[in-house]
Amino acid sequence: MIQPAKSTRERLLHAVLYESGAMLILVPLGSWLLGHGPAQMGVLAIMLSTIAMCWNMLFGALFEQLERRLGWQRTVRVRTLHAVLFEGGLVFICVPLVAWWMGISYWQALLLDIGILLFFLPYTYVFNWVYDQARAQLKTA
């Protein structure tokens, strides 16, 4: 199905729901796995979430323009491309911030970011699929 364009308000709602769900999972998990306090992980999560929300809105708008221009439908292949490109952009943006905040090398930050990426690839796919299904149901109701 070709998705109609989202308003700025809907993009903001989408981004807030996406990031809130991720933070509810990742802050306690990251704190436990990395041995850092929840406050340090929480602040890092808020910084990364803010970056990710801005990237989400910008990338989403650009990707949807590309979808409409090329007449793409949201197939498994298109959803996979969306998730990979979105997360790849975040890795490029966030590794320096993670290295600085955690006091680790870029290599360690990259490895940590890869771990986060391994969470977010399926999370992004599933979240957007559920969101699109709910959106379609609300539009037809």
pLDDT digits (tens, 9 = 90+) for 6-57: 788 988 899 889 988 988 888 999 889 888 888 988 999 899 888 988 898 8
Q: How many CA atoms lie within 13 A of 121 on its CB side?
A: 11
pLDDT at 2 over 70: no
Q: Identify the band that residue 74 occupies on the pLDDT scale cut at 50, 70 and 90.
A: confident
Q: What percent of the chain has pLDDT over 70?
A: 96
φ/ψ (deg, to 5) at 37: -65, 155
* Euclidean distance between CA atoms 63 and 53, whole angstroms: 15
